[in-house]
Amino acid sequence: MRTHLQHFINGEWVDSTGSETIDVLNPATEEVIGQISNGTTEDLDKAVAAARAAFPAFSRTTKEERIELLNRIADEYEKRKDDIVEVITEELGAPLSISEKVHYTLGLAHYRQAAKELETFEFTETRGGKVIRKEAIGVSGLITPWNFPTNQASTKIASALAAGSTVVLKPSELTPFAAIILAEIFQAAGVPKGVFNLVNGNGEVVGNGISSHPDIDFVSFTGSGPVGQKITENAAKHIKKVALELGGKSPMVILDDYDTKKAAKIAVSALVLNSGQVCSAATRTLVPKSKLEEFTEAVKEVLPNFPVGDPQNESSFMGPLVSEKQYNRVQGYIEKGLEEGATLVVGGTGKPEGLDQGYYVKPTVFANVKNDMVIAQEEIFGPVMSIITYEDLDEAIEIANDTVYGLAGYVVGEDEEKVEKVASSIRAGLITVNDAPFDFSASFGGYKQSGIGREWGVFGIEEYLEIKSVVGVRVGVPS
């Protein structure tokens, strides 16, 4: 049993001021694997006070000191590889290979990337007779979801530390154990007392507490739209800056000149990664009308290469969904798709054969989807693809943009001009062409209802900075 009832505050593990606990389940077995404390507002106040006290000294560290710190964190993170892989497989249900190749790797990448960005980052510059300074924003409250336990927390923490901000993290109560390992990593790496604080608990108390806390200067949230709205409302009371990474319904536009089988492989792998629990997942697949049949046949052929199964089994590509709630949500959308008259190509309701225990779902593909159907408009957050046909490129772009979201977009094609036309026309924050890998020096974040602000690389660091102009000083002498 993983039982971690303490919070990490001011450089040490401390008991909660409350006695309530939260059970954490393994979604593959549906069994309780441990407990965390359901943190209280007093716990949060202590963490915020520690972060506030640590801020003046930490914000004045040099960027060289922070580069060293980030690299020490990355080194310690590497030493905990086995623990991170194991914990993510247990609490999220990600297959071991995905925990390693995706979750472990993404988390690590953010610390290395932030250190690299700092090398060339200018915190002070002179412009037309004034000094422009970029200063750490203050105490940052970080609220993260369950779908990428180390990645979501690490992109925020790495950016905050690079900027010189101190933080209070509240991870998802569904997957809290990866963050406990992160706290141990920061301790081992010598992160100064109070710079990183972890308070476990639910959204109602600790989450709301962060967004409404008068002593927190900035809230960075990743999660659902309704919670993002609540956070923004709370933050408005103290005019607190907010960054939101919310949901998506991202289009993948497949051009008619691309090899259909290769396109199907790209589309399917973008759909099933992390059991479809990816905010930037390509869930609306736009194919030329003339290629619909060829494409759906190719999808059927490719899908068995991404087997669903026990996360402990090395050959599994997809594990279960994270919870019963998420399972029911995805089942509801599959039923809705059938009701709306979309054509079921593969998958459907119920559990895959032989996987009765655990929150497993069948990867499901619908064809003949109209973009105004619920399954094409709402974020399902599971492995459900909607194939929508288009007549010409203008129609493809119109369909791609006919959504309240704008987190990501994908273009699969050979003709560079057409690829560029689609890439520049989709109103979304990250466009991926063909099978390009992740690039953490790029920006990540949404247009429209997908959010406010950017993460990753230099763009993430900027979020944790305030800009100050100093006029009237002798140019070249930073104040």
Which positions lie near ligand NAD, rule CB under 6 A? 143-147, 170, 172-173, 202-203, 207-208, 211, 222-224, 227, 230-231, 245-247, 279, 379, 381, 407, 451
Q: Are 466 and 421 in contact (CB under 8 A)?
A: no
Smaller CB distance to ligand NAD: residue 226 or 478?
Answer: 226
Question: What is the greatest pairwise CA distance in the chain?
Answer: 74
**Structure tokens of 404?**
């309240």
Smaller CB distance to ligand NAD: residue 155 or 371?
Answer: 155
Smaller CB distance to ligand NAD: residue 173 or 463?
Answer: 173
- The least CB distance from residue 225 to ligand NAD, in Å, is 7
Does 279 qualify as catalytic in the annotation? yes
Smaller CB distance to ligand NAD: residue 256 or 455?
Answer: 455
**Structure tokens of 76?**
């310690």
> Which SS3 state, helix, strand or coil, does residue 111 take?
helix
Q: Are 292 and 367 in contact (CB under 8 A)?
A: yes
Smaller CB distance to ligand NAD: residue 232 or 312?
Answer: 232
> Which SS3 state, helix, strand or coil, does residue 377 take?
helix
- The least CB distance from residue 146 to ligand NAD, in Å, is 5
Q: Are 292 and 267 in contact (CB under 8 A)?
A: no
Q: Distances in Å between the alpha carbon of 342 and those of 253, 385, 414, 451?
A: 19, 11, 29, 29
Report the DSSP beta bridge partners of residue 196.
167
**Structure tokens of 375?**
């399954």
Q: Are 252 and 262 in contact (CB under 8 A)?
A: no
Smaller CB distance to ligand NAD: residue 114 or 419?
Answer: 114
Smaller CB distance to ligand NAD: residue 203 or 320?
Answer: 203
Q: Kindly tell me the burial class for residue 392, based on how many C-beta atoms sit within 10 Å of its own C-beta (0-12, 13-18, 19 or more).
A: exposed
DSSP notation for 182-213? HHHHHHHHTPPTTTEEE----IIIIIHHHHH-
- The least CB distance from residue 295 to ligand NAD, in Å, is 26
In this structure, the chain runs to a length of 479
Smaller CB distance to ligand NAD: residue 228 or 347?
Answer: 228
- The least CB distance from residue 446 to ligand NAD, in Å, is 6
Q: Are 162 and 114 in contact (CB under 8 A)?
A: yes
Q: What is the separation of C-alpha 429 from the centre of its chain, rounded to a whole number of angstroms?
A: 14
Active-site position among 76, 117, 173, 279: 279
**Structure tokens of 275?**
């059991």
CB atoms within 10 A of CB 219: 24
Does 173 qualify as catalytic in the annotation? no
Q: Distances in Å between the alpha carbon of 267 and those of 7, 94, 365?
A: 41, 20, 11
Active-site position among 245, 379, 455, 463: 245
CB atoms within 10 A of CB 232: 16
Q: Are 174 and 146 in contact (CB under 8 A)?
A: yes
Please give the positions annotated as active site.
245, 279
